[in-house]
Amino acid sequence: MPAPTKIERVETMLWDRWLLIRIYCEDGTVGIGEGGVHGWQRPTKTMVDTMAEYLEGKNPDYIEHHYQWLYRSSHFMGSVVQGALSAIDIALWDIKGKRLGVPIYDLMGGKTRDKVRCYMHVGGETKDDLVASAQAAVKDGFTAVRFTPFAPDYYLHKSYTEWADEAVDRVGAVKEAVGGNVDICVEIHRQMAPAESIWLGRRLEQFNPFFYEDPMLPDSPARMGDVADQCNIPIATGERFTTIFEYEQLLEANAASYIRPDLCLCGGLSGSKKVSAMAEAKHVKVIPHNPLSPVSTAACVQLDACIPNFALQEYTGESEPPKSDLLVTPLELVDGYLIVPEGPGLGIELNEAALSGPENPKILDTPIGFDGSVQDR
């Protein structure tokens, strides 16, 4: 065992659209993390900076203790708090792995697999564009693709029938284009009420989607359970959840076949490992949410590598700038699978030259419907 060390300082970086952190230790070890309140990086940065005062001078080994102290030290909790704690948790696990010279998955039970199957985001303004994007992903080796079935202007349709008919047509076109050996994952983005999502889900059953994601707002696990019970497509949800307690309600309601923990929001690697174990007890599989930077992807792969109930990994592509510039050596992707790295900690190193790039904050917006009402993003 290496001699004890202390946390020296915490650094936060708003890089492109993402919040990255580094925790420096007195012995020279540096841990990397990412906070994932998508769209709210600036207040999350402030939260990490606020927590840094507590962390400085502490032993980085006490990961769970530090989480409990910071989580329970205030009367108020929520996504910005959890985004900050998740970034810290990931960085502390990176430190522990580096100091012991092993990958994080070795510290969490060891490998259960050597590679991680990914689904690729595809999309397009028109049905033809969507089909072409899906075919390109398959050509690149992916065996699963994910897309929203709605046209970009869906919220301007005057009738629900028009909206749903178009969605069914787009899903059918993708299914026909990619063939029977490719899984299609349908993302609803919480844009329907429960009754609407049940009706559309029944129409989509013919295409055998791998999952039907966020068919309604996640606020009511009981109502999500009704959707799961009344349409014969596996439900995937949970990307907005920040604690194990929300997942407990979701699982108790039998509301999902797949859970979607965001490691950069749901308590980091520690919280997501707990959620994965809760899901395992319910025979529910895990599809980590990952719309963020390659740091998030690296953390997800560490979790995927050590849990028995992993299903798929969300992947948005990291071969183009700015994502391709962030790591000194990108994670290895072969035929739609990320190879589990063998390096210590997260198994990654940040490219210092890329960190000087400009901030590109996510623009907050949401659709306005035909009648002038606010729609869900």
Catalytic positions: 189, 289
Per-position DSSP letters for 3-60, written without gaps between them: PP--EEEEEEEEEBTEEEEEEEETTS-EEEEEE--TT-HHHHHHHHHHHHHHHTTS-T
Nearest to 87 by CA among 265, 308, 337, 215: 265
Task: Spell out the SS3 assignment of 214-253.
Answer: CCCCCCCHHHHHHHHHHCCCCEEECCCCCCHHHHHHHHHC
Nearest to 306 by CA among 153, 151, 104: 104
| C-beta of residue 350 within 8 angstroms of C-beta of residue 328 | yes
Question: What dihedral angle (degrees, nearest 10) is formed by the CA atoms of 195, 200, 202, 203?
Answer: 150
Structure tokens at 206: 């013919």
Q: What share of the chain is helix, strand, coil (3-state, %, to 5)?
A: 40, 20, 40
**171: Cβ–Cβ under 8 A, 6 or more apart, which residues?**
149, 184, 186, 204, 207, 209
Nearest to 349 by CA among 305, 292, 295, 299: 295
Quote the CA–CA distance of 359 and 342 in Å, as a whole number: 31
